[in-house]
């Protein structure tokens, strides 16, 4: 028998989440963001669940080529563009849309020998201060790109740093609008949070990421609880051992947890080598046989312990949901001091994944 830890990916939920996005941003086309191997869900596994999207957005050229080889003929956007000028022939061959965020990319595009112009997203830095040109350069750069023979359709792009806040995009939107006044151009500004909560930013294309997978861009599930989004990934396992503690007994490495009285705990075949956060504190939520309880003690490489007090019927072989439909990944992440994004992307290659 194989180890019982298992991840499942719900393609029906994925399709439903895409429809939620379309309802939230009517009139905008959708870039489904599938970077980081579709946020840990497996690009090759899930892309067909998103095949009604208008385009796919990602980082890795290899993943873009995979989509083309699987038969996707629609737009593909590389969110950080090409990393080296010698990648441009592949962008040309596979007809990929490139982001341009740096002067060297402008020069590389100008000098490249291409069979046909590439569509370009001009990235403006509106306060994130990672990639992109200063807003005051937008007009000049737009005209410069427009004059290059290797540039086809163009779109203005930015990325909000604080879109999860009620007033989080006001300053950035003001900068963008002022800098591009009079510029007739397509725009792609809205990430997941802006797609849900800032309709004034939607423009021609929205770029949902985390919400496609049923988690909150704010890191708080309650912020999206009524949006109609469904968790796509479930991480599950089973109890493989039971211990009965007496008062004063400690659990796990370092003895972090101490029993206050007699207590049954279950040992679950999941640990940080599977992608579960090692720093999850006592009480991190978990579902045992349909009953919500919490972890106890330090998470080990291959195992963790859970309190069986609320579920005295649980024993060897009892099913456990670490996150998924009932235990929201945002709640696990919040308990562990991180975000759902990280937990999704941290799912270990050794964990078998099935689609449902």
Distance CA(243)–CA(305), nearest Å, equals 9
Read off the pTM.
0.94
Q: How confident is the model at residue 204 (pLDDT cuts 50, 70, 90)?
A: very high
3-state helix, strand, coil in the chain (%, to 5): 30, 25, 45
Percent with pLDDT over 90 in the chain: 98
Q: How far is residue 127 from each of residues 2, 104, 239, 271, measured CA to CA in Å?
A: 49, 21, 47, 38
Q: Which long-range contacts (CB under 8 A, 24 or more apart) does 175-183 make?
A: 175/126, 175/127, 175/135, 176/124, 176/126, 176/135, 176/138, 178/135, 179/124, 179/135, 179/136, 179/138, 179/139, 180/135, 180/138, 180/139, 180/142, 180/156, 183/138, 183/139, 183/142, 183/156
Distance CA(200)–CA(204), nearest Å, equals 11
**pLDDT tens for each residue of 10-39:** 999 999 999 999 999 999 999 999 999 999
In this prediction, residues 173-192 reach a mean pLDDT of 93
The number of beta carbons lying within 10 Å of the beta carbon of residue 140 is 10
User: Hey, what domains does the chain have and what are their CATH numbers?
Assistant: 12-215 (3.20.20.10), 233-355 (2.40.37.10)
In this prediction, residues 176-204 reach a mean pLDDT of 95
Closest CA to 193 of 173, 213, 208: 208
Task: Please state whether beta strands 186-190 and 151-157 pair in parallel, antiparallel, or not at all (unpaired).
Answer: parallel
Closest CA to 111 of 84, 85, 83, 77: 85
Catalytic residue selected from 93, 107, 149, 253: 253
SS (H, E, C) 33-48: ECHHHHHCCCHHHHHH
**pLDDT tens for each residue of 311-329:** 999 999 999 999 999 999 9
Binding residues: 130, 301
- Residues 235, 241, 244, 247: is their CA dihedral positive or negative? negative
Based on the residue annotation, tell me whether 213 is a catalytic residue of this protein: no
What pLDDT is recorded for position 1? 60
Distance CA(234)–CA(227), nearest Å, equals 19
In this prediction, residues 337-350 reach a mean pLDDT of 96
**pLDDT tens for each residue of 94-136:** 999 999 999 999 999 999 999 999 999 999 999 999 999 999 9
Distance CA(297)–CA(307), nearest Å, equals 10
Distance CA(212)–CA(21), nearest Å, equals 8
Q: Is the pLDDT of residue 197 over 80?
A: yes
Count how many Cα atoms sit within 13 Å of the Cα of residue 44 in the half-sphere of its side chain.
7
Query: What does pLDDT average to over the chain?
Result: 96
Distance CA(46)–CA(164), nearest Å, equals 26
Binding residues for substrate: 130, 301
Q: How confident is the model at residue 273 (pLDDT cuts 50, 70, 90)?
A: very high
Based on the residue annotation, tell me whether 272 is a catalytic residue of this protein: no
Closest CA to 28 of 143, 188, 209, 239: 188
What pLDDT is recorded for position 184? 87
**pLDDT tens for each residue of 36-86:** 999 999 999 999 999 999 999 999 999 999 999 999 999 999 999 999 999
Rg from Cα positions in the chain: 23
Distance CA(273)–CA(299), nearest Å, equals 10
**pLDDT tens for each residue of 226-254:** 999 999 999 999 999 999 999 999 999 99
Distance CA(126)–CA(111), nearest Å, equals 28
């Amino acid at each position: 028998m194989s180890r019982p830890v298992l991840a499942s990916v719900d393609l029906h939920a994925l399709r439903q989440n895409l429809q939620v996005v379309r309802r939230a941003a009517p009139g905008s086309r959708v870039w489904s963001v599938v970077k980081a191997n579709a946020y840990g869900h497996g690009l090759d596994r899930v892309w067909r669940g998103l095949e009604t999207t208008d385009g796919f957005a990602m980082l890795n050229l290899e993943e873009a080529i995979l989509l083309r080889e699987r038969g996707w003929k629609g737009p593909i956007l590389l969110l950080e563009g090409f990393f080296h000028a010698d990648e441009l022939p592949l962008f040309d061959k596979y007809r990929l849309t490139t982001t341009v965020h740096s002067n060297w990319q402008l020069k590389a595009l100008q000098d490249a020998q291409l069979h046909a112009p590439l569509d370009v997203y001009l990235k403006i830095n509106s306060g994130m201060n990672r990639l992109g040109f200063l807003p005051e350069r937008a007009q000049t750069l737009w005209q410069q790109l427009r004059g290059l023979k290797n540039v086809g359709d163009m779109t203005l792009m930015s990325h909000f740093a604080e879109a999860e806040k009620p007033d989080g995009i006001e300053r950035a939107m003001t900068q963008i609008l002022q800098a591009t006044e009079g510029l007739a151009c397509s725009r792609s500004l809205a990430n997941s949070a802006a797609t849900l909560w800032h309709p004034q930013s939607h423009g021609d294309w929205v770029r949902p990421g985390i919400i496609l997978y049923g988690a909150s861009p704010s890191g708080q599930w309650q912020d999206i609880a009524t949006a109609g989004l469904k968790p796509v990934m479930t991480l599950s396992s089973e109890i493989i051992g039971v211990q009965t503690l007496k008062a004063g007994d400690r659990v796990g490495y370092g003895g972090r947890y101490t029993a206050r009285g007699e207590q049954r705990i279950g040992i679950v075949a999941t640990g940080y080598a599977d992608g579960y956060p090692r720093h999850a504190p006592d009480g991190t939520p978990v579902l045992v046989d349909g009953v919500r309880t919490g972890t106890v003690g330090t998470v080990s490489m291959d195992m963790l312990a859970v309190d069986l007090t609320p579920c005295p019927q649980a024993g060897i072989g009892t099913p456990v949901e670490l996150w998924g439909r009932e235990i929201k990944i945002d709640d696990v992440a919040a308990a562990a001091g991180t975000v759902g994004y990280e937990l999704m992307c941290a799912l270990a290659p050794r964990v078998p994944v099935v689609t449902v």
